[in-house]
Structure 1
Amino acid sequence: MNGSNFPGLVPLHIPGKEPLPPGFTEEERDAYDKMQKTEKFMTMGAESCAFKAVLAGGGGLAIGAFFSLMSSSFAYEDPLIRERTQAGMKTTQKASAMFKEMGRGMWNTGKGFGKVGLLYAGIECVIESYRAKNDIYNSVSSGFVAGGILARNSGPRAVVGGGLAFAAFSAIIDLAFIRREPAEED
């Protein structure tokens, strides 16, 4: 244990001369130090709000596209609808039109899910960083803010209603699926 981990303590070892973990030799110190710096940099990046928001947005995009793909398979079950929309087309044209429509639907639904994921995860991370706590109030307040932002074009009543609905949904999900350790008393 080096004193640099505890502010105000004198280091036990000269910087750069700390003991190496078992299995490393003195010749490998530079490689070990580079590995430590890279690991620290990657950890900082993975803990950043921007990374979390982009990850949630990408996941939302993928899930939304998958849901749309699954639901679009039911759109072509009715032969009467298929006859009206694809009258006079060859088989390759019908397949091309069907895949283009599915792609548009996947993109639009995925984009919506991604926007919600990006917005919610970004707001929650900022609130959590500001409060320096990980509890249900972060998810409820970020749900309220995100719901209000998503309903902003429908008027003030819809902003409050959307915020309350998203906050309630966030609270239910948080209570049902996320288990947190109790806070430690000082």
Structure 2
Amino acid sequence: MNNPGFNPPGGGNPNMGVADEQTMAAVKAMSMVMESCPGKTALSGVMGFALGGAFGLFMASMQYDTPLSTNPTAANIQSLPLRQQLKQGFRDLGTRSFSSAKNFGKVGAIFSGTECCIEGFRAKNDLANGVMAGCITGGVLAAPAGPQAAALGCAGFAAFSLAIDSYMRRPSDSD
């Protein structure tokens, strides 16, 4: 029975070769990494960094969109020769993009890592995990500005997390 479309009971494939077994082992290892808190934290940080870089690039490119800009850098740059304008503009664009990327990466990593740890500790996957992780993340990010800012950061990020998580968990139209 060496029919390529036939899989015997128990799920074993008699035609599975070494390459297929290696692929399955790699998939299993990747799944284990992606389900671990350090893996989720790292991936969220990297993806947050990429998304923040894209947002930063967009926002920085809008800085010089009008001649009536109130930014002193934008006003001073207009008096420079074109080549220096471009050089200064690209330098500023890179600086702002990198700053935004770092901030998004930090937020993504802190939130994801915190939520994963809370989920593991509580052994539940519900809205409360995201709200608690949002509160901790907002508080940690705002803590350098003082206790009042930390409390407001906690409340604001928790509310935002609740809104997003509630929206993402709502039943779809096909259910």
Instruction: For 1:58-77, list aligned pairs within 5 A.
Output: 58-77=46-65
Distance 1:176 1:19 in 2: 40
Task: Pick one of 118, 121, 126 that aligns with 2:117.
Answer: 126
Residue identity matched to 1:101: D
Kept after mapping to 1: 8 A contact 2:77/2:88: no
Q: 1-side partners of 2:57 and 2:147: how far apart?
A: 34
- Distance in 1 (CA, whole Å) between partners of 2:124 and 2:170 is 15
1:170-181 map, 5 Å: 170-179=161-170
Q: Please report how far the alpha carbon of residue 148 of structure 1 lies from its aligned counterpart in structure 2 after TM superposition.
A: 0.9
Letter in 2 for 1:164: A
Instruction: Say if 1:19 and 1:83 are closer, same or farther in 2 by CA, change over 3 A.
Output: closer
Alignment: residue pair count: 160
Identity of aligned residues (%): 36
CA distance in 2, matches of 1:132, 1:150: 26
Q: Secondary structure at the match of 1:58?
A: helix
Residue in 2 aligned with 1:97? 88
State how far apart, in whole Å, the 2-side matches of 1:132 and 1:54 are: 21
TM-score normalized by the length of structure 2 = 0.79
More divergent stretch after superposition (115-124 vs 32-41): 32-41
Structure 1 CA distance for aligned equivalents of residues 65 and 33 of structure 2 = 47
TM-score (norm 1): 0.75
Unaligned runs of 5+ in 2: 1-8
Q: Which protein shows a greater Rg?
A: 1
Gaps of at least 5 residues in structure 1 are 1-17, 181-186
